[in-house]
Structure 1
């Protein structure tokens, strides 16, 4: 049986993966959904000091505490930043990476640098605290503001990712309008080091296409 560690996108908690978590657990797999510091039910931890490094530590500390080895790290949207950093810092504990309509960073990239001006305008509209990105109207009602420092901080990879045996990119083909993930899909599709998929759902693939997504996750393991 495989171990899956599920990292959500901005403003959301581990509950955003519920349809996938239920299906994977029903097949006997170990599934650990993560809620990052300062977000959702952990919003009480939100301070100006919560950044990308904090979120990477959230995941690496969990891997260590749970004794996880050869995990499939799954990152949705902003979560692609986190799983990349965690894989670099915990090489014995991450065996595969799956990016769900996510950003795919290299060393020195930030989420801010990888997205379009449209997303940057959203990030810059911080809430009254001055250090959190507001939720959007169509988000899950459980969503909360997200630490802006985490999208501004560049990723510093502390090791290469040569130990990762498999990398998958899952592209959401039914965005309402132009998808900011197209640039990653088009760049990775011809790369033999990647397995690229396209699903007929919106950005929240866990909700829109859970059965198809679970099949991809099972194959990635």
Structure 2
């Protein structure tokens, strides 16, 4: 059965971070759509620096609505766990599977700021010093990365009961980076029978460091 995969990038990254995974999914006979969130485009549109979490959820919803008929997997990396959760909650399209790829799994009322660790909160404060509206990419990052809208990190997520419609939920935990804020989340969900949990011994950008392992999980 052909699956459509909608792939959402984490902070500072665009849809390009999924290029290898998207191509691998197509080789396996599936459809793949890699989404670039507002403000993270190669040439951001005027006003996109004020994009917030709702803006990004709306972008994901538009991608879902544009998918053809058939089952959909919605996959988000890192920050995009918030976008995945919000889009799945609000979408009128049926979503077969949610994949949180080393990503936050938020509850109603959570924000990225609240769930992140102190190291990442300090990164936001320091990175936003230039204009107060966006957070600069870290020095030495991929040159395609872009300043990330601050508001999306601060806004609280509002969830209803829409997530209950998604029967299959997958967490991928990358265990080989010291700064991970996801350890306690992994420990909690790996014993939850409602979740399928995988641990990969990689750093945070799983799609770049372990593409074959990630593809195997996505196409399982």
TM-score, normalised by the number of residues in structure 2: 0.94
| Contact kept in structure 1, 2:104 and 2:182, CA below 8 Å | yes
CA RMSD in angstroms, aligned pairs only: 1.5
Alignment gaps of 5+ in structure 1: none
Show structure 1 runs of 4+ deviating over 6 A. Answer: none
1:16 aligned residue? 17
Question: Which residue of 164, 171, 174 maps to 1:172?
Answer: 174
Q: Is the 8 A contact 2:3 2:70 kept in 1?
A: no
Q: Give the Å deviation of 1:93.
A: 3.2
Deviates more, 1:165-174 or 1:63-72: 63-72
Cα shift readout 1:162-187 (whole Å, capped 9, x = no counterpart): 11011111011211x24211121111
Equivalent position of 1:145 in the other structure: 147
Greater shift in the superposed pair: 62-71 or 14-23: 62-71
Other-structure match for 2:217: 216
Q: Distance in 2 between matches of 1:216 and 1:93?
A: 21
Structure 1 residues 31 and 128: alpha-carbon distance in aligned structure 2, compared to 1, 3 A threshold: same
Within the alignment, does 1:198 sit opposite 2:209 as a pair?
no
Instruction: Flag the 1:64–1:192 CA change in 2: closer, same or farther, 3 A.
Output: same
Contact kept, 8 Å, 1:81 with 1:105, in 2: the verdict is yes
Segments of structure 2 that go 5 or more residues without pairing to the other structure are none
- Aligned partners of 1:40, 1:184: CA distance in 2, in Å? 30
Secondary structure of the residue aligned to 2:37 is coil
Deviates more, 1:183-192 or 1:50-59: 183-192
Alignment-derived partner of residue 31 in structure 1: 32
State the shift of 1:40 in Å: 3.3
Q: Which moved more, 1:192-201 or 1:128-137?
A: 128-137
Q: What does 1:54-203 correspond to in 2, within 5 Å? A: 54-67=55-68, 70-125=71-126, 126-175=128-177, 177-203=178-204
